Structure 1
Amino acid sequence: MTRYADDLALAHRLADAADAISTARFRALDLRVDSKPDLTPVSDADTAVEREIRSLLADHRPGDGLLGEEYGEQPAAGPDGRRWVVDPIDGTKNFVRGVPVWATLIALLEGDRPVLGLVSAPALGRRWWAALGGGAYAGPDLASGAPIGVSGVTDLADASFCYSSLTGWEEAGRLDAVLQLMRDVWRSRAYGDFYGYMLLAEGALDVMVEPELSLWDVAALVPIVTEAGGTFTDLSGGPAPAAGENSAVATNGPLHDEILARLGRPAER
């Protein structure tokens, strides 16, 4: 048990409440979908999940801060700088099209450091979680979770490489580097959103990279990957996540320096 045992139990309770709402709305014929100002979709499930999590945190952690994708920032009332970061449904585009790869992401930060992360993907029947110093686990619930760990692959030619959309890498000026990596590795796939990071933490693949993320997209992923034995930085090799826009390079560890070197600087335009 770690010092975050009570917080981890609460995170599972939040996930249980989120799963009850999201699974009831998944593939619902009356699902309402709107567009946000950035033209990304938001469903009634996204907003309902975040409202429920906010209500539960107000009851159980009233002094903690909260940042959610749909309703923004609620500053901490206490002096210790604890803040929960929530993405009510990561993979909303999958959710609204009936693709079962989506999840609720729940993180606890102390200052800028994620100390707890939970990813719940009820349509896949799977949940992943970790707290600082306690290892990483996966399973249907807290009581039946089993430890997970990253792979031991050390040669890029043997690696399974996962990436986000190629258009994002093109916009970042790094498409040529990503395409070359895809040619040089054993296998490449774009599983997308949270899922590639969780497969990395389980040892099913070896590298996951994304050029642009928000804090709520990434905060819950970092403790799970690192407690599973992996390495998680931004594209410059610095710590992730940051307060604003983020990039992500997550690996099993032995491959990390080579991936950073291969992605390199953006191409000249």
Structure 2
Amino acid sequence: MLVYATPGRGKAGMPRDDESLALKFYQHEGNTDVHAIARLSERNHIEVGSAFTNVAVESFEWHGSLLYQEQYERLYNSLIGTTGMPISSSDPMTNRLERHGVKALIGFTWTGQSGFSLLGEAWYDAGAYSAGEWRAVKNLTERQAALLGQGVPESAVRGNIAFSTRYFDRPNLLRENLLLRLSHRQEGGNLEPALDILCTPADGGVVATASVGYEGNRFRLDAGVRQFGGARNSAYRMLPDERIVYFALQGFW
């Protein structure tokens, strides 16, 4: 399938709205599905990716994906590495153009006859930040916080600290990630409790989520609690929130 999206728009405000030309390929053979894509846009130039899923036996499947980007953008705080006053009168966050990015994932799903299911995944995202870059953000924040009460306007200090919270806007905070998810759903049942553990080995971060989902005839309810923890200097411990409780209700009509 050949797709030409949003003709004449060029580089839009959001990547999904960019003008782009994409060639998509899909093939199903036996117990294996294969996807491939090539995309051309002003923002990323050439992107080439592929993905597969294979059902090895009835209770076990494994999957993987790989994406190469000729170029991509990442946000950086321009105050990092400076030796002067770590305060800016304007937004110091800038988009830096990076070259030759790779995203890769490998994972599996095991489903037992008792209704238990185990999902495991490991992935790498070059567009995320390294543990060293997070340490640099933490050091800058500590330098800025030390100016409170030292004659620098409090609004300027707190405003500059707030700029760096945009580092948390990326889908992955760290480049290397490990996920394990255990869930249970009886055949014909509507209730599905689950436990997720996400780890970032590079900095020792951990995110644990306990959740439950209930699916009725015309709605689905999800609720859970998510705890951010791990090593003291990990990116997830730097989040403004230590714990999140969430509810989600979807209706089908």
Return the TM-score normalized by structure 1: 0.30
Higher strand share: 2
Between the two structures, name the one with larger relative contact order (CA 8 Å, sep ≥ 6): 1
Work out which of the two has the higher radius of gyration on C-alpha atoms and give 1 or 2.
Answer: 2
TM-score by length of 2: 0.32
